[in-house]
Amino acid sequence: MVQWSDDDNCFLVGFPDFPGQEWRTHGETYEEALRNGTEALESLVMAYQSMGEPLPEPQTLPMIS
């Protein structure tokens, strides 16, 4: 999830499916936030794999029409 934060004056990146990772990284631009978020997600997956933990099940969100 990428969301603008007026309080932080940047884009915040979070992974709500991962416990304790509501806001993991950020970026001054949307593109920077996506790059940082990709790196953060890769690190999270590697950490889970190295500990032998299963990845969390993704949440299903309702479609907005």
Instruction: State pLDDT tens for residues 36-49.
Output: 999 999 999 999 99
Whether the full predicted model's pTM is greater than 0.85, yes or no, is no
Indicate the SS3 state at residue 8. Answer: coil
Work out whether the CA dihedral 31, 34, 32, 14 comes out positive or negative: positive
Band of residue 65 on the pLDDT scale cut at 50, 70, 90: low
- Cβ atoms of residues 37 and 26 within 8 Å: no
Instruction: State pLDDT tens for residues 48-58.
Output: 999 999 999 88
**Locus of tokens 């932080």:** 8
Is the model's pLDDT at 61 over the cut of 80?
A: no
